Amino acid sequence: MSKKIISEIRRDHIFNLLKEGKRSDGRKLDDFREIKFETGIIESADGSAVVEMGKTKVTAGVKIIPGTPFGDTPNLGVLTTGAELIPLAHPDFESGPPSPESIELARVVDRGIRESGMVDMSKLCIKEGEEVWMCFLDLYAINYDGNLFDAFNLASVLALKTAIIPNEQYGKGEDVPLPITCLPISVTSAKLGSSLILDPNFDEENISSARLTVTTDDDGNFRAMQKGGQGSITLDELSHCLDMAVAKGEEIRKLIG
Amino acid sequence: MSKKIISEIRRDHIFNLLKEGKRSDGRKLDDFREIKFETGIIESADGSAVVEMGKTKVTAGVKIIPGTPFGDTPNLGVLTTGAELIPLAHPDFESGPPSPESIELARVVDRGIRESGMVDMSKLCIKEGEEVWMCFLDLYAINYDGNLFDAFNLASVLALKTAIIPNEQYGKGEDVPLPITCLPISVTSAKLGSSLILDPNFDEENISSARLTVTTDDDGNFRAMQKGGQGSITLDELSHCLDMAVAKGEEIRKLIG
Amino acid sequence: MSKKIISEIRRDHIFNLLKEGKRSDGRKLDDFREIKFETGIIESADGSAVVEMGKTKVTAGVKIIPGTPFGDTPNLGVLTTGAELIPLAHPDFESGPPSPESIELARVVDRGIRESGMVDMSKLCIKEGEEVWMCFLDLYAINYDGNLFDAFNLASVLALKTAIIPNEQYGKGEDVPLPITCLPISVTSAKLGSSLILDPNFDEENISSARLTVTTDDDGNFRAMQKGGQGSITLDELSHCLDMAVAKGEEIRKLIG
Amino acid sequence: MSGTTDMILVNKDGKRIDGRTPDEHRDIKIEAGVLANADGSAYVEIGKNKVLAAVYGPRECHPRHLQDPTKAIIQCKYNMQTYSVSDRKRPGTDRRSVEISKITAEALEKVVLTELYPRASIDVYIEILQANAGTRCAGLTAASVALADAGIPMRDIVPAIAAGKADGYVLLDLNKEEDNFGQADVPMAIVPSTNEIVLLQMDGNMTREEFDKAIEMGVRGCHDVYKLQKEALLNRYSDGGDSDE
Amino acid sequence: MSGTTDMILVNKDGKRIDGRTPDEHRDIKIEAGVLANADGSAYVEIGKNKVLAAVYGPRECHPRHLQDPTKAIIQCKYNMQTYSVSDRKRPGTDRRSVEISKITAEALEKVVLTELYPRASIDVYIEILQANAGTRCAGLTAASVALADAGIPMRDIVPAIAAGKADGYVLLDLNKEEDNFGQADVPMAIVPSTNEIVLLQMDGNMTREEFDKAIEMGVRGCHDVYKLQKEALLNRYSDGGDSDE
Amino acid sequence: MSGTTDMILVNKDGKRIDGRTPDEHRDIKIEAGVLANADGSAYVEIGKNKVLAAVYGPRECHPRHLQDPTKAIIQCKYNMQTYSVSDRKRPGTDRRSVEISKITAEALEKVVLTELYPRASIDVYIEILQANAGTRCAGLTAASVALADAGIPMRDIVPAIAAGKADGYVLLDLNKEEDNFGQADVPMAIVPSTNEIVLLQMDGNMTREEFDKAIEMGVRGCHDVYKLQKEALLNRYSDGGDSDE
């Protein structure tokens, strides 16, 4: 993701359209691309989902495994989130240890899920201090065309929402759904010049100066935020981003509800 | 092993001789170089061997240590095989993490030993589910002049064949030999032009298009195979490789028996 | 630390002065720079110290944590020493895995502490074979202007000398001081031309041909030594280094006693 | 291969636990051109295996010291996703993946006209989304279609399939149970136009007779796979395959 | 954030456990020019946090493939020393450090005139000597002063501070207990001359109203920090700051 | 060094557990030119230590940023094989190996005419096949012979041996038991023609008097080793040493 090159002409084209409140793919500033999703696509996972936002495509899978709780939370389950920007998904992605970009993605998605209490960790205790369910949430970019934050967040939420605790496999009784309390939805604004747009595609992302990801819960409260990029956002812009995040978050929540 | 350079003249010489069924070192196509070996060379190992095939020289050592069995095989010992292409052995070898070549070597050798059941793993259980003997087989190239597959295989078989389970060291009674059921022998054919030769030296290996390693057991049955190289082998060539592997395998087995 | 460049002029200047028995900063050959130190600077550590020798500045911190003893010393505590040459301290220092220089520094400091028996490891046993106190001693270069060996050694000794075993934190009774038996002090000589000097600064270190670090205990006996550098030292020079190490060691011991 | 079980893998009528005859492969689905960014791509299902392959290149070769002045090199990366197997796989490259990547790249070298692109790299990425015995063959099958989809000149397309042995029978295309509790596995890949072998591994225990039969079965299986590979590429082009570029 | 406790973090009189009012920051000490070798440096204490920052550069950019022909890049490395926290931290970079390093560098980009130094690197090192909630803000505050101390042309200095929520109150500059047992944390950094936000994170649970209040409190807190940053730089120069060069 | 034992390491007659007198080294066997590929090589046995050394170079220096325009650099890699010690050693470089590699390279620098080969690297590989106290000295002794065998111009050959202390006696060339349960170890290496010290380490507990005695003993021991090094090189050339090239 280091060297994102986009021609001057394409850049100017995007900025000229934005001045008229338009986007190069015909969307309004606060439109997402078409969202498609499917769950349960991977039988070997305990929960899985594929999400497409336009040409951006990602998968999420959850494996739920008995393990030892952390010393300071002996009665809580554990959530671990990883994101892989595999080279299959984009010519700029490289093999090797996780890049700062993939680490940030995983941590922001994780934060939204964790802070919203989406998964009721207290119900994942098998034996206090000894055994709890550990949820390994792994995210893969399959085709990258911008806005991995929201695509990964949505795929994660769908995979967890449909996940099954594999009690049978471990001789612990019947399989039950993972206990879910709410659906945290992230909405990412990108700042291009003085315009704020939602769900930036690859070209838009490359010429944006700043990014704000805002994750809301079912009540429209804020659970996680992350500003990125080398630019700044004004207090007014912040306010607009929050408004959009609440409105669009509700819309997406309904879509997958 | 990445940049194997051999002069055009030497290359042509080898190919010209092969057309007459001869090799540059006077061998017949299905001749091995002289094999020398010695066992018990390293007292700190529980089993060890040095093998020379012409100028190729390798060592193998086994350490046998009590450890925890894998969950799905609670009553079986464990075999772990590593191969190191240390820079002492050849100017092309580099320090650092294992190369794909060294990983392939270790895995093919391991496969022959494992699949032949050479070591009776069921006799390596100390206490079911809790403690078994773990055999760490480590291979080092000392001087590399081709055909490490067969040299490593032979050194491994010799080291295991003469290995002792160190019961005394761990207060578990008397030392006993590692339980051995058979002697898997690998025979590697290299394809140069349309000729198939055994035990290729460094120059021959470099100009070969494909390689087939075939490991047989005491009955001449097949236990492991691995095709390598960027070329192909025809079905007729395959058949010839199998014939040679059985015949030469028996010969080598007698040599070390 | 690989490329240490110093101008010819500065180099000649230092050597010319040394011929007259003088150093560029006015010190005598066997003078240390002014030593300043402070302990207890980091409340989150169980022991800590900052040491300045001229412009060289280092910190040491100790964390003392219950852990499992090594199998062959079931009733002894454990000491682990690490040294980090962080890029904050000098433009030549780089991020990444420990360099050979930092490993040597940590190991030489560790050796002096360990071999002198400074910390009475037999008193760090909580339950034989099961639980002992593990002392993690971590050293950081804050500003590097030569002679990290002695600065790190001194900071380590001060941090350990003032360290507290955190019994309370782990519900094991009252906090007590770490049991200290003596104060090992290292004194490093550098050879420049035919001169031997103590406490070399960065410039002196760069043009020195050899280095000898000598660690003595309270009785002036030798506990650890390490020769470094690509030059040699004669037997007479060795004798002089030992004399200086004993005399200066005693002086520094008094300073911190 | 060394597993033992009381399970009957092939019944008296010669039927396997999933109802197949000994020389019958599992259901195979191949789709070409499934990814927008990659120069070529393919999705393959063989039984419960789900595999994606992407090709980027010919492009500049990194790291540069691997460049070959006479031809393109093929670099392959086979990766099992963490949730593709019953026990979660730790992320990152393991020794098995390194070996499979190496032999897969070697198998493809034979058919790609690498000499057309000196100094370049052709990068093949294989992602195992779901694994159920036979992923290396599924991966190579997919990679081969992805190379063709990328428009890279090739002498032929490489199909791959495994033969093997279970309950004493020589069988085509082992499923998970046959692989775990069987007696031998023989993954292989060929150049269909000449029946030359470009990938061959074997582990287990086979007599010469059994092995010869396995090879015969495998070659036939490869030709079946080959047919489906060609169909997938035909579909790709007749569907107006460049729609998502 | 998800901790729960019986501890009363804000009492009936609106006082916090360390005696502060909700909109009061902890004691802050800032010193510029504390290291001899670095081109610029600063030491910051915010409550019990102790942080050192050093700047080297503009200098040649390593690794070279990161060079930007149009401007300098800012590379930041945030590092927690092993003994800075109650449980010993393993040495080396962890995922949290990588994230903080990234957003810190991005926050500084806005104010540094990087376009003056094409192809160069400006390297910022932040060492956490002691951590007690708020290290990323303390680190960025220190880094900003260190950049100014290095004489690198900047549009403005960046101050940072966190707002948050505990016991249902919106609070400025959470301490360790408020961070552990509170309901939200909002670290932020601004460009004081314009109040533009260059760093913003949030985790926990906040209504829009609470969040707006937190931002307002944070902006004011940043201006307080900014004042102390400027004082530190003034002291540095009036003290004859280049004494230790 | 810190071990304690009831074992009597030196008896009333001044004899050690392996029958040696205090100033007697173990049996030493040195052979030069034992590897076909290396430019120079040597095999050394000292007691139960078995060590191989190989030299490649002068050759192009990798990585290139280590090149010195004024001379060759010596790069050394000391490696303990996994089965060389009683507890299996994990493969790969550990901190001890890094330190030994560093001081070994430094010890060799003094005698090699590195100024003859600007920008080049002389690579020394030391493999410990079997370890029994004293491997660093055995390794350096072997490396020195391997350098001479490679025909690299040298001022002198470097021999190495350890002195030490056990049961209160100063002893030459500690064996495993003396090393484990003794009171001090002093590995050293010299330039025989001048008795200059090029490697010196010490750990344990020694008075000045004991240390002086250890150095004296060590210097004499080094001269014994030196004699055997020269003999090995003479044998190598008289045997028609280039036979296996």
Cα of B209 to nearest chain D Cα, Å: 10
CB-CB under 8 Å, F83 with B48: yes
Question: E touches A (3+ CB pairs < 8 Å)?
Answer: yes
CB-CB under 8 Å, C43 with E83: no
pLDDT, averaged across chain A: 96
**pLDDT at residue number D237:** 84
> What is the DSSP secondary-structure string of D169-210?
EEEES--HHHHHHSSEEEEEEEETTTTEEEEEEEEEEE-HHH
- E142-199 pLDDT tens trace: 999 999 999 999 999 999 999 999 999 999 999 999 999 999 999 999 999 999 999 9
Mean pLDDT of C134-158: 98
Cβ atoms D73, D67 nearer than 8 A: yes
Mean pLDDT of D151-180: 97
**pLDDT at residue number E102:** 98
Q: Which amino acid is at C256?
A: I
Of E17, E54, E216, E80, which is closest to residue E147 (Cα–Cα)? E54
CB-CB under 8 Å, A59 with D129: yes
Per-residue confidence band for F243, with pLDDT thresholds at 50, 70 and 90? very low
Question: D touches A (3+ CB pairs < 8 Å)?
Answer: yes
Distance of CA E1 to the CA centre of its chain: 19
Q: What is residue E200's DSSP assignment? A: E
Q: Give the tokens for residue D199.
A: 């990938």
- F61-73 pLDDT tens trace: 988 889 999 999 9
Could you tell me which chain D residue has the CA closest to the CA of B5?
D68
SS3 B133: strand
- F184-216 pLDDT tens trace: 999 999 999 999 999 999 999 999 999 999 999
Could you tell me which chain E residue has the CA closest to the CA of C94?
E62
Q: Give the tokens for residue B8.
A: 């055009």
pLDDT, averaged across chain C: 96
Fold of B31-256: Ribosomal Protein S5; domain 2 (3.30.230)
Task: Give domain limits for chain F.
Answer: 28-234
Is the pLDDT confidence value at F25 over 90? yes
Q: What is residue F155's DSSP assignment? A: S
Cβ atoms C234, C224 nearer than 8 A: no
- D96-149 pLDDT tens trace: 999 999 999 999 999 999 999 999 999 999 999 999 999 999 999 999 999 999
**pLDDT at residue number D3:** 55
- E52-68 pLDDT tens trace: 999 999 999 988 889 99
Cβ atoms A14, D56 nearer than 8 A: no
* Angle between the N-to-C axes of helices C235-256 and F208-238, in degrees from 0 to 180, rounded to the nearest 10: 140
**pLDDT at residue number A8:** 86
Of E197, E57, E46, E44, which is closest to residue E124 (Cα–Cα)? E57
**Which of D88, D97, D242 to probe by mutation at the A interface, max A CB count within 10 Å?**
D88
Q: What is residue E10's DSSP assignment? A: B
Is the pLDDT confidence value at E241 over 80? no
Contact residues on chain B for D204, CB-CB shorter than 8 A: 115, 223
- B151-186 pLDDT tens trace: 999 999 999 999 999 999 999 999 999 999 999 999
Q: What is residue A244's DSSP assignment? A: H
**pLDDT at residue number E245:** 41
Cβ atoms F149, F114 nearer than 8 A: no
Is the pLDDT confidence value at C155 over 90? yes
**Can you tell me the distance from the alpha carbon of B105 to that of F88, in angstroms, rounded to the nearest whole number?**
21
**pLDDT at residue number D238:** 84
Of A67, A61, A54, which is closest to residue A84 (Cα–Cα)? A61
**pLDDT at residue number E3:** 54
SS3 E219: helix
For tokens 């759904």, name the residue.
A177
Q: What is residue C15's DSSP assignment? A: H
Is the pLDDT confidence value at D243 over 50? no
**Can you tell me the distance from the alpha carbon of F42 to that of F31, in angstroms, rounded to the nearest whole number?**
6
**Can you tell me the distance from the alpha carbon of A217 to that of C86, in angstroms, rounded to the nearest whole number?**
42
- A105-135 pLDDT tens trace: 999 999 999 999 999 999 999 999 999 999 9
pLDDT, averaged across chain B: 96
Q: Give the tokens for residue E40.
A: 């610029």
- Percent of chain B beyond pLDDT 70? 98
Q: Give the tokens for residue A253.
A: 């929540």
DSSP H helices in chain A: 8-19, 100-116, 148-161, 202-206, 235-256
- A174-219 pLDDT tens trace: 999 999 999 999 999 999 999 999 999 999 999 999 999 999 999 9
Q: How far is CA B14 from CA B193, B211, B232, in A?
A: 10, 17, 20
- Percent of chain C beyond pLDDT 90? 96
CB-CB under 8 Å, B223 with D203: yes
Contact residues on chain D for A65, CB-CB shorter than 8 A: 87-88
Mean pLDDT of D157-177: 97
CB-CB under 8 Å, B235 with D215: yes
Cα of F104 to nearest chain C Cα, Å: 10
User: Angle B17-B21-B23 (CA atoms, 0-180°, nearest 5)?
Assistant: 50
- B205-230 pLDDT tens trace: 999 999 999 999 999 999 999 999 99
Distance of CA B116 to the CA centre of its chain: 13
> What is the DSSP secondary-structure string of F194-215?
TTEEEEEEEEEEE-HHHHHHHH
Q: Name the strand (E) or helix (H) holding B103.
A: helix B100-116
**pLDDT at residue number B8:** 86
DSSP H helices in chain E: 95-109, 135-149, 176-181, 208-238
**Can you tell me the distance from the alpha carbon of A147 to that of A109, in angstroms, rounded to the nearest whole number?**
12
Contact residues on chain D for A59, CB-CB shorter than 8 A: 81, 129
Could you tell me which chain F residue has the CA closest to the CA of B144?
F37
Domain F28-234 - what CATH class? alpha beta
SS3 F70: coil
Q: Give the tokens for residue F53.
A: 């050394």
**pLDDT at residue number F244:** 45
Per-residue confidence band for E1, with pLDDT thresholds at 50, 70 and 90? low
**pLDDT at residue number F2:** 52
- F76-135 pLDDT tens trace: 999 999 999 999 999 999 999 999 999 999 999 999 999 999 999 999 999 999 999 999
Is the pLDDT confidence value at A254 over 70? yes
Chain B to chain D, count of Cβ pairs less than 8 Å apart?
A: 92
**pLDDT at residue number B2:** 40
CB-CB under 8 Å, E203 with A224: yes
Phi then psi for B35, rounded to 5 degrees? -100, 125
Could you tell me which chain F residue has the CA closest to the CA of B142?
F35
Q: Which class for C158: exposed (0-12), middle (13-18), buried (19 or more C-beta within 10 A)?
A: buried
- Chains with 3+ CB–CB pairs under 8 A to D are A, B
Phi then psi for F109, rounded to 5 degrees? -55, -40
Beta strands at D169-172 and A56-67: parallel, antiparallel or unpaired: unpaired
CB-CB under 8 Å, E82 with C86: no
Is the pLDDT confidence value at E110 over 50? yes
Q: Which class for F220: exposed (0-12), middle (13-18), buried (19 or more C-beta within 10 A)?
A: middle
**pLDDT at residue number E239:** 67
Beta strands at B131-143 and B78-84: parallel, antiparallel or unpaired: parallel
**Can you tell me the distance from the alpha carbon of C92 to that of C144, in angstroms, rounded to the nearest whole number?**
10
CB-CB under 8 Å, A227 with E201: yes
Could you tell me which chain F residue has the CA closest to the CA of C110?
F203
**pLDDT at residue number F3:** 55
Cβ atoms B39, B61 nearer than 8 A: no
CB-CB under 8 Å, F202 with C224: yes
Could you tell me which chain B residue has the CA closest to the CA of F51?
B42
Bridge partners (DSSP) listed for residue B177: B164
Is the pLDDT confidence value at E4 over 80? no
Query: Any CB–CB contact under 8 A between B221 and chain D?
Result: yes
Closest Cβ opposite residue D88 in set A42, A136, A144? A136
**Can you tell me the distance from the alpha carbon of A50 to that of A63, in angstroms, rounded to the nearest whole number?**
15
Is the pLDDT confidence value at C6 over 90? no
Contact residues on chain C for E130, CB-CB shorter than 8 A: 42-44
Query: Any CB–CB contact under 8 A between C142 and chain E?
Result: yes
CB-CB under 8 Å, B63 with F52: no
Per-residue confidence band for A2, with pLDDT thresholds at 50, 70 and 90? very low
Mean pLDDT of B96-104: 96
More confident residue, B166 or E7: B166
Cα of E211 to nearest chain C Cα, Å: 32
Distance of CA F238 to the CA centre of its chain: 25
Is the pLDDT confidence value at A35 over 70? yes
**Can you tell me the distance from the alpha carbon of E159 to that of F46, in angstroms, rounded to the nearest whole number?**
65
Confidence (pTM): 0.96
**Can you tell me the distance from the alpha carbon of D85 to that of E28, in angstroms, rounded to the nearest whole number?**
53
Contact residues on chain C for F205, CB-CB shorter than 8 A: 115-116, 217, 221-223
